[in-house]
Structure 1
């Protein structure tokens, strides 16, 4: 695992957590703007960094390494953390474990899916071969590419932004192993997030993409006690992928207490 720091170190620290099978570089498009307000630390998960030979083992194993870094470099406390998709599960777990302190945890339209071990194995056996081939080769299956080719311009822009998070279309990521993809996908499904998370001194903000469906808003209110839900009439992580200036402003307002 690596941590990529950038910006003015005198500013408040924000940790950035990528989504499933996504690279730390998926945050590159927002860093310059974010540096106006924060010192950024982008987390690069085991198994998904081009600069080391590692394999993703489990969510809990990654959490321990992140906690060690925050204790060592930031005295166990940071101003904010943003979790993109899967990253939202990491932010939730770090807050509930209470081994470090995060003043503002921001959940980026994460689905927060959970299931038992049996169903997780079935889902992983179906999804992982497709996901691995995509991230490893950087190419989409023909049926997916056909749908994208048939989409209108605005939808293509959204899809391109989403695919950039995986490095798809950029030559692939040959260092990522199938085992890392499986372990990350499976571990996310079976690692339980507590209900009613409520930590003194921590505010949880949710960037809720309303086009995902109402069940997700109910889910956020189950996992978190009194979350600050910020609604956007968008798809999953569309705000982050396609509207970088608006996303940065929303992060600033969440941390500074503006609506």
Structure 2
């Protein structure tokens, strides 16, 4: 773990391994959501997991800034610590947005990148993006203050245990109103460089077949920005379920890709 000269806490595992995987967390969970897969991946890889400000249980007073700011700070940390080139960049949902921008900014190079249901910026007039942002903020604030019984009604009981639901509820309670607004708005409206070099890495965009309709916008955006991306549909999955509900299958699929 390191946060020296950097406001973002960085968690590291499997430091004796030579090949590095950087993993960015989704919105609405802490970095430790990757505890499902870290024990498997750290056997063969050096795993770097930034704890996103505003979603860091060890820094409860921290606030989310923006996708651009956090991506830059993580890139600077990687460069300062000798990881300007890594084996793989992986990010889910909001974390996928970090990967999309990190590839475009090209300060960090990678052999492989996995954008797991990554969110892409709206291509809408600004007034509409604010309306959507207000909706997202209101819905999250309602969920933050709702009873566990009401909150659990939106989750599939066949997939999520009471412990899982209490975890998500705890994360939401720890998010300030400012972080909720900035995290949702920035994830949906982050900027991209005007000139994006053609990536030298192999890119896959993963999504669950149960969320395909919601991801169509994101898939179209990624096709335009990174046209050589390979799109992988994972059966029987909704948003951000692969690593948490199917950790062994997740690690197998990730390893097969980055060792191809």
TM-score interval, normalised by the smaller of the two chains: 0.7 to 0.9
Count of aligned pairs between the two proteins? 247
Equivalent residue of 2:238, what SS? Answer: coil
Aligned 1:210-249 pairs, distance under 5 A? 210-213=209-212, 215=216, 217-233=219-235, 234-249=237-252
Aligned equivalents of 2:35, 2:70: Cα separation in 1: 22
**Structure 2 length-normalised TM:** 0.83
Aligned 1:1-259 pairs, distance under 5 A? 1-52=8-59, 53-112=61-120, 114=122, 115-132=124-141, 134=143, 140=148, 142=150, 144-146=151-153, 148=155, 155-160=156-161, 164=164, 167-169=167-169, 171-172=170-171, 174-193=173-192, 199-213=198-212, 215=216, 217-233=219-235, 234-257=237-260
Aligned equivalents of 2:147, 2:19: Cα separation in 1: 38
Aligned equivalents of 1:247, 1:165: Cα separation in 2: 21
Post-superposition CA distance 1:43-69 (Å, at most 9, x none)? 111111122232111111111101111
- Which runs of no fewer than 5 residues in structure 1 stay unpaired? 149-154
Superposed displacement of residue 180, structure 1? 0.8
Aligned 8 A contact 1:158 1:238 in 2: no
Post-superposition CA distance 1:141-173 (Å, at most 9, x none)? 72x53354xxxxxx4243449x9499325x456
Equivalent residue of 1:168, what SS? Answer: helix
**Structure 1 length-normalised TM:** 0.83
Equivalent residue of 2:118, what SS? Answer: coil
| CA root-mean-square deviation | 2.8
Aligned 8 A contact 1:93 1:193 in 2: yes
